[in-house]
């Protein structure tokens, strides 16, 4: 029987789309979205002031190129591959290019949406700092999207490389090239202009030719790295499910532990004792999982930045409460994960003990986050009002962990 790879892609894509639409409905009904909109509104309120506060010496186009290049270069490839494909699709490797061309097109489109949103966010900054004509503005929107396409195309070919290390070097090269082009475009061709010569354009062209030759060689030399493709797909899928899991229960959520030895001392603060087993278990689950710790740190950074940037004390306090609530709704996933997995029958810790341990871990993590955001606000000149922020952090962490959370912890 001949496998129809076009139909296979359509089928996988349709299945994911249905799933996405279904989960989007849950997300639209969730409280997280409300908090995000509220925080967005707060940022919008101060955004004009923030732009006006950018000092004239600040190199806006280069800073924009630096940040936008990060998103342009980051190209995780969704392929919709399944575990069983290692068995069924590998014999069709020579015909898979048509299938993967479609997945590349899909990735380019989806990733361009996020890129567009980032460009939209920075557009007022760019407009305020550059006297740009309409052609220049078209470049602002189009060049990053085209560069994204090039990055998706080239990073796909590079995924054939067997060595993970060379993959990192090539990613760095892609980043530098993207930065070079974007800095050139955002400065309206002024970047690396010496005399009448645009060196950025020249370097860019030479790099592109050299890189294309290299890509062509790699494309012909190596087969697909199936296990890597599957690993990337699974990682992306897990990320999606983990995100949606904050709004509704998803059975597919899984996570791989990462060693992170440098974080072990934090767990050792909790003494070895039968009564502490639950606390240690949840603390380790938090510190080891890429997603929970990652979200915690990202929200901490966002909260810190906003607390520093917002001039008003009430706004700083509101940021702390919002960020802690967002973090709390994410961390709650650890409880769901623990209750759902087989692991819950592994260690004999009773349900009540587990609940108490989880509340404690949640409270401590939120308090630390709140205190760190307050300290950042203090360093930026909040003065003695920081004690008020400490108090807000304490009340929010305690209130959530011991008054709100128990109602949500089901056995």
Partner 1 sequence: MNKILEVNGVTGGYTSSQTVIKNITFDIHEKEIVALIGLNGAGKSTTIKHILGLLQPREGSIQIAGQTFASNPDTYRLSYGYIPESPIYYEELSLWEHLELMAMTHGVERQLFLERVKPLLQEFRMEEMKDRFPHQFSKGMRQKLMIMMALLVEPRLFIVDEPILGLDPLGIRSLLTWLEKCKEQGAGILMSTHILATAERYCDRFIIIHKGEIKMQGTLEELRQQTGFSHHSLDDIYLHVVEAEDK
Residues at the interface with partner 1 (CB under 8 A): 254-257, 259, 272-274, 276-277, 280-281, 284-285, 288-289, 341-343, 345-350
Q: How far is the CB of 349 from partner 1 (least distance, A)?
A: 6
Residue pair 54/60 in contact by the 8 Å Cβ criterion: yes
**Residue closer to partner 1, measured from CB, 289 or 359:** 289
**Residue closer to partner 1, measured from CB, 210 or 254:** 254
In sequence order, what are the residues at sequence separation of 6 or more whose Cβ sits closer than 8 angstroms to the Cβ of residue 249?
336, 340
**Residue closer to partner 1, measured from CB, 159 or 281:** 281
Q: How far is the CB of 273 from partner 1 (least distance, A)?
A: 7
Q: How far is the CB of 322 from partner 1 (least distance, A)?
A: 28
**Residue closer to partner 1, measured from CB, 198 or 234:** 234
Q: How far is the CB of 281 from partner 1 (least distance, A)?
A: 6
Q: How far is the CB of 287 from partner 1 (least distance, A)?
A: 8
**Residue closer to partner 1, measured from CB, 217 or 256:** 256
**Residue closer to partner 1, measured from CB, 290 or 372:** 290
CA atoms within 13 A on the CB side of 187: 21
* 3-state SS record for the chain: CCCCHHHHHHHHHHHHHHHHHHHHHHHHHCHHHHHHHHHHHHHHHHHHHHHHCCCCCCCHHHHHHHHHHHHHHCCCCCCCCCCCHHHHCHHHHHHCHHHHHHHHHHHHHHHHHHHHHHHHHHHHHHHHHCCCCHHHHHHHHHHHHHHHHHHHHHHHHHCCCCCHHHHHHHHHHHHHHHHHHHHHHHCCCCCCEECCEEHHHHHHHHHHHHHHHHHHHHHHHCCCCHHHHHHHHHHHHHHHHHHHHCCCCCCCCCCCECCCHHHHHHHHCCCCCHHHHHHHHHHHHHHHEHHHHHHHHHHHHHHHHHHHHCCCHHHHHHHHHHHHHHHHHHHHHHHHHHHHCHHHHCCCCCHHHHHHHHHHHHHHHHHHHHHHHHHHHHHHHHHHHHHHHHHHHHHHHHHHHHHHHHHHCCC
Q: How far is the CB of 352 from partner 1 (least distance, A)?
A: 10
**Residue closer to partner 1, measured from CB, 274 or 384:** 274
**Residue closer to partner 1, measured from CB, 134 or 259:** 259
Q: How far is the CB of 266 from partner 1 (least distance, A)?
A: 14
Q: How far is the CB of 365 from partner 1 (least distance, A)?
A: 15
Q: How far is the CB of 356 from partner 1 (least distance, A)?
A: 14
Annotate 25-55 with b (16+ C-beta within 10 A) or e (fewer). Answer: eeeeeeeeeebeeebeebbeebeeeebeeee
**Residue closer to partner 1, measured from CB, 129 or 289:** 289
**Residue closer to partner 1, measured from CB, 287 or 299:** 287
Q: How far is the CB of 276 from partner 1 (least distance, A)?
A: 7
């Amino acid at each position: 029987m001949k496998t129809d790879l076009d139909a296979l892609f359509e089928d996988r894509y349709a299945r994911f789309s249905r799933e996405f639409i279904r989960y989007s409905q849950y997300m639209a009904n969730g409280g997280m979205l409300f908090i995000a909109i509220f925080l967005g509104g707060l940022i919008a309120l101060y955004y004009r002031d923030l732009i006006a506060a950018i000092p004239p010496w600040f190199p806006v186009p280069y800073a924009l190129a630096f940040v936008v290049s990060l998103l342009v270069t980051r190209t995780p490839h969704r392929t919709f591959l399944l575990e069983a494909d290692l068995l069924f699709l590998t014999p069709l490797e020579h015909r898979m290019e048509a299938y993967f061309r479609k997945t590349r097109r899909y990735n380019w489109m989806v990733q361009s949406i996020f890129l567009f949103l980032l460009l939209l966010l920075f557009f007022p900054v760019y407009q305020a700092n550059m006297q740009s004509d309409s052609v220049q503005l078209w470049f602002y929107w189009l060049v990053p999207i085209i560069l994204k396409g090039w990055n998706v195309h080239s990073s796909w070919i590079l995924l054939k490389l067997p060595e993970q290390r060379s993959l990192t070097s090539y990613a760095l090269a892609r980043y530098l090239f993207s930065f070079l082009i974007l800095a050139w475009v955002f400065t309206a061709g002024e970047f690396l202009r010496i005399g009448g010569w645009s060196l950025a354009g020249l370097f860019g062209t030479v790099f592109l030719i050299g890189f294309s030759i290299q890509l062509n060689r790699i494309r012909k030399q190596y087969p697909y790295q199936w296990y890597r493709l599957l690993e990337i797909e699974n990682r992306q899928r897990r990320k999606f499910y983990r995100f949606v899991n904050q709004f509704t229960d998803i059975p597919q959520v899984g996570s791989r532990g990462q060693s992170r030895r440098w974080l072990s001392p934090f767990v050792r603060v909790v003494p070895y004792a039968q009564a502490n087993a639950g606390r240690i278990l949840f603390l380790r689950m938090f510190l080891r999982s890429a997603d929970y710790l990652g979200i915690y740190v990202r929200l901490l950074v966002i909260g810190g930045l906003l607390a520093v940037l917002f001039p008003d004390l009430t706004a700083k306090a509101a940021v702390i409460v919002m960020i802690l609530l967002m973090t709390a709704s994410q961390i709650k996933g650890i409880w769901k994960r623990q209750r759902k997995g087989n692991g819950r029958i592994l260690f004999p810790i009773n349900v009540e003990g587990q609940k108490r341990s989880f509340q404690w871990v949640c409270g401590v993590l939120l308090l630390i986050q709140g205190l760190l955001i307050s300290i950042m606000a203090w360093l930026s000149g909040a003065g003695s009002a920081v004690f008020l922020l400490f108090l807000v952090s304490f009340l929010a962490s305690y209130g959530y962990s011991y008054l709100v959370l128990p109602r949500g912890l089901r056995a």
